[in-house]
Amino acid sequence: MACNILILGGTTEARALAEALAPRAEFSVVISLAGRTAKPLAHAVPMRVGGFGGMPGLAAWLTQHRTAALIDATHPYAACISANAAAAASITGIPLLALRRPAWTPVPGDRWTSVASAAAAAAELGAAPRRVFLALGRQELRPFEAAPQHGYLIRSVDPVDPPLALPRARYLTERGPFDPESETAMLAAHGIDAIVAKNSGGTATYGKIAAARALGIQVFLLRRPDLPQVPEVATVNAVLAWLDHVAARRGV
Ligand code: NAP
């Protein structure tokens, strides 16, 4: 019988993992999305959408679906679901592996300022008006209403609704990946002199970091949250190798 696998997704890597596993008859895979975007991209395996109802709900789902292994391939800033995954795996005894992107590290020419939160970034932008590109989730934008002296360019997958209470905010509705060339052109066209972003790691959103370096733009990077200590790997191939062991142990 195939091994039931649950992937906690919402990232490029989770999608790639689902695609790699879809043709493998020894695995029966479901990918789970939080439901943050109105029209999620298609996935190569069946998808479920929405919260589980906290850690107990996730543990119950794993048990009900006779899950053989859980893969936490969520975004490095999605700390709640990762904590729930660790606790649910521990309670149910279901093997868990985290697929986590290593953080970006600065290279010569980068002008990075590390900040604890979006609110801290809003304060650190300073009193003098700046032209700020916000590359954050829609839920993290409200703190910038406390700094209305700046002009903002805000990019999100779905429209920001209701719009922010900011006199000089412009909105871009776009989905990544974003390459360095188009990011450089976009930042220059809008006269951006500061970026607020997450240290997401990976390649899909690194374009703005490379573009900021080329243009000498300061980047305020939100510090990564603490994540649970669980076995982790950095690549889809490493997850596949780990799952091969899971299948072998179960004689599949
Ligand atoms: P979060 O704060 O860690 O999670 C909040 C709640 O959302 C969780 O307790 C869970 O609800 C639900 N949830 C989160 N991820 C889920 C998933 N994959 N499947 C089912 N339920 C999920 O998460 P977040 O930071 O809001 O991120 C939400 C999703 O967006 C994640 O899947 C993440 O991979 C993706 N994402 C996040 C970011 C980011 O910057 N945070 C960026 C890109 C993509 P219950 O407690 O009810 O189970």
pLDDT digits (tens, 9 = 90+) for 183-216: 999 999 999 999 999 999 999 999 999 999 999 9
Per the prediction, the chain carries an average pLDDT of: 97
Cα(81) to ligand 1 centroid in Å equals 6
What is the torsion angle, in degrees rounded to the nearest 10, for the CA atoms of residue 171, residue 12, residue 223 and residue 99? Answer: 170
Kindly report the backbone phi and psi dihedral angles of residue 69, in degrees, each rounded to the nearest multiple of 5, phi listed first: -160, 145
Q: How far apart are CA 3 and CA 55, in angstroms?
A: 22
Who contacts 251 (Cβ-Cβ below 8 Å, separation ≥6)?
A: none
Which atom belonging to ligand 1 lies closest to the Cα atom of 53? 47
- The tens digit of pLDDT for each residue in 49-72 reads 999 999 999 999 999 999 999 999
Q: Does residue 125 surpass a pLDDT of 90?
A: yes
- Residue found by looking up tokens 């929405």 in the block: 50
Q: pLDDT band for position 1 (50/70/90)?
A: confident
pLDDT digits (tens, 9 = 90+) for 72-107: 999 999 999 999 999 999 999 999 999 999 999 999
- Ligand 1 pocket, residues with Cβ under 6 angstroms: 8-11, 32-34, 36, 51-54, 57-58, 74-75, 77-81, 84, 137, 198
pTM of the predicted model as reported, rounded to 2 decimal places:
0.96
Q: Which of 7, 74, 101, 198 to mutate to test the pocket of ligand 1 (most atoms within 8 A of CB)?
A: 74
